[in-house]
Amino acid sequence: MTTRQEPSFLDGVNLMFDRAAATLSIPHGLSEQIKLSNSVYQVRFPVRFQDEYTMFTGWRAVHSEHRLPVKGGIRFAPCVDQDEVEALAALMTYKCAIVNVPFGGSKGGLRINPREYNEEQLERITRRFARELISKGFISPSLNVPAPDMGTGAREMAWIADTYREQSPTDINALACVTGKPTTQGGISGRVEATGRGVQYALREFFRHPKDVALTGLKGTLEGKRAVVQGLGNVGYHAAKFLSEEDDCKIVAIVERDGAILSERGLVVEDVLAHVREHGGVAGFPNADYVENGLQVLEADCDILIPAALERQITRENAPRIRARLIAEAANGPVTFDADEILRANGKVMLPDVFLNAGGVVVSYFEWIKNISHIRFGRLGRRAEEVRGRNTIDLFEQMMNRPVPATMQEKLLHGADELDLVRSGLDDSMRLAYQEIREVLHTKNNIPDLRTAAFVVAVEKVLRTYSEMGA
């Protein structure tokens, strides 16, 4: 048994990069330029609450500026540190490249437990952090555009947008300085559900390819597949909800902070969320078995394991005991580098985070476009589509001399609204990205798995951009 420590999150991401880079011919020096963060800003600032000052530490890492703006969330969590923020920024670069979003990668974090503060205090802290980042060029519609991440959401994004607007009142694109805003503050329909929706679209696409499904030993479609989900936050909740309600997956266990619940009949995600909101955890959820050691349930027998919480949940310690055949990485970095090797050796298939959870940034891209174009998607075309539908119905009725059934009329008369267009664009992005990744997996030499294939897709695109720029 080796005594070597597991690589850090950042070292693990870099090792994954190296594994992919080794299969490509990258000019000397350029590989380091792509791999390492361009800059990291660390800030400490005090916030006064009544007579006391509390110090906060935050970071914003810019990984790659081969495309601008750079993009990535801001997380509020007690465990945030520079290694984590840099690792997440690097993942953002690869993620954007994989789903063809023309942004570089960035990530921010504030070391704080948001549960320890009330809304008013959080607003002051968020605005203060935002001011620090804005004044150093780490928030700007053209350079660096944050978004929600763990511990933040639409509310924090609205505060950040308002702080930016105050500091840059003449910037006509001010709203595009951050994405994931409330829809009433320049946000876009479908952004909240986007990452979970993207997980659903990605899994659907995976199951459209029997050759790939065969690698897992599973058969058929998503229907009836037994899934274990870790984390009922924004990503896990939406992924579990859509997969169970729309694809007939059975959610046989949900792992939360206080433990896990299991039910072979399948859990109703909405009910579990309502219970968690009311009782602060999953314990006591009716008609399900409760296990206090939630982590142990990651090892439960199931078809698909969906870690949708924190990074480093599957390590070399528990990896050998994972029984799921397919691991769908809805969180960022849930599988460590060592665990990845063990799982692959055990024949497990992983849908890597850099692809699987990219739905959030895809829809962020749509929101940013909406903000800089100052028009809602569908505003121009929706009624024209309805007119086309009406003409089609009239033509059919004239020629066939019988009425078009009411349900069909309804479909034909529905012009695509913003949510329809966002979902359509997200679905297309996830499908195409998966097709590019599997093409690399099946046609290139020495590509052992989907993660290496995804990194190859990403690194090739970043490399091409640098080469064309002549950097």
- Judged by the rule CB under 6 A, the positions of this chain that interact with ligand GLU are 71-73, 147, 149, 179, 332, 357, 360-361, 364
Note whether 97 and 51 are within 8 A (CB): no
Between 151 and 259, whose beta carbon lies closer to ligand GLU? Answer: 151
Distance CA 197, CA 190 (A): 9
Between 300 and 356, whose beta carbon lies closer to ligand GLU? Answer: 356
Task: Report the candidate in 423, 432, 355 with the shortest Cα–Cα distance to residue 95.
Answer: 355
Between 12 and 259, whose beta carbon lies closer to ligand GLU? Answer: 12
Between 144 and 163, whose beta carbon lies closer to ligand GLU? Answer: 144
Beta partners for residue 59, in sequence order: 42, 109
Note whether 356 and 172 are within 8 A (CB): no
Residue 453 CB, nearest distance to ligand GLU (Å)? Answer: 20
Residue 12 CB, nearest distance to ligand GLU (Å)? Answer: 16
Residue 366 CB, nearest distance to ligand GLU (Å)? Answer: 10
Residue 95 CB, nearest distance to ligand GLU (Å)? Answer: 6
Distance CA 82, CA 328 (A): 26
Determine if residue 87 is left, alpha or beta; phi over 0 gives left, psi from -120 to 50 gives alpha, anything else beta.
alpha
Between 107 and 111, whose beta carbon lies closer to ligand GLU? Answer: 107
- Residue whose C-beta lies closest to ligand GLU: 73
Question: Can you give the C-alpha Rg of the chain in angstroms?
Answer: 23
Between 191 and 348, whose beta carbon lies closer to ligand GLU? Answer: 191
Bridge-based pairing of strands 144-145 and 70-71 is parallel
Note whether 208 and 168 are within 8 A (CB): no
Active site residue 107: yes
Between 349 and 363, whose beta carbon lies closer to ligand GLU? Answer: 363
Task: Report the candidate in 285, 305, 188, 192 with the shortest Cα–Cα distance to residue 243.
Answer: 305
Q: Which amino acid is present at 392?
A: T
Burial class of 280 by CB neighbour count within 10 A (0 to 12, 13 to 18, 19+): exposed
Residue 266 CB, nearest distance to ligand GLU (Å)? Answer: 28
Measuring CA to CA, how many Å separate 416 from each of 379, 383, 424, 452? 9, 9, 10, 37
Residue 370 CB, nearest distance to ligand GLU (Å)? Answer: 14
Between 89 and 269, whose beta carbon lies closer to ligand GLU? Answer: 89
Between 71 and 181, whose beta carbon lies closer to ligand GLU? Answer: 71
Q: Choosing from 35, 107, 241, 370, which is the catalytic residue?
A: 107
Order across the sheet with 226-230: list the strands: 289-291, 259-262, 250-256, 226-230, 304-307, 326-328, 349-351
457 phi, psi to nearest 5 deg: -55, -45
- b/e code 164-199 from CB counts within 10 Å (16+ = b): beeebeeeeebbbbbbbbebeebbbbbbbbbbbbbb
Residue 310 CB, nearest distance to ligand GLU (Å)? Answer: 12
End-to-end CA distance of the chain: 44
Q: Which helix (H) or strand (E) element contains residue 383?
A: helix 382-400
In degrees, to the nearest 5, what angle opens at C-alpha 290 toward C-alphas 284 and 291?
Answer: 135
Residue 365 CB, nearest distance to ligand GLU (Å)? Answer: 8
Residue 75 CB, nearest distance to ligand GLU (Å)? Answer: 7
Q: How many CA atoms lie within 13 A of 349 on its CB side?
A: 21
Catalytic residues: 107
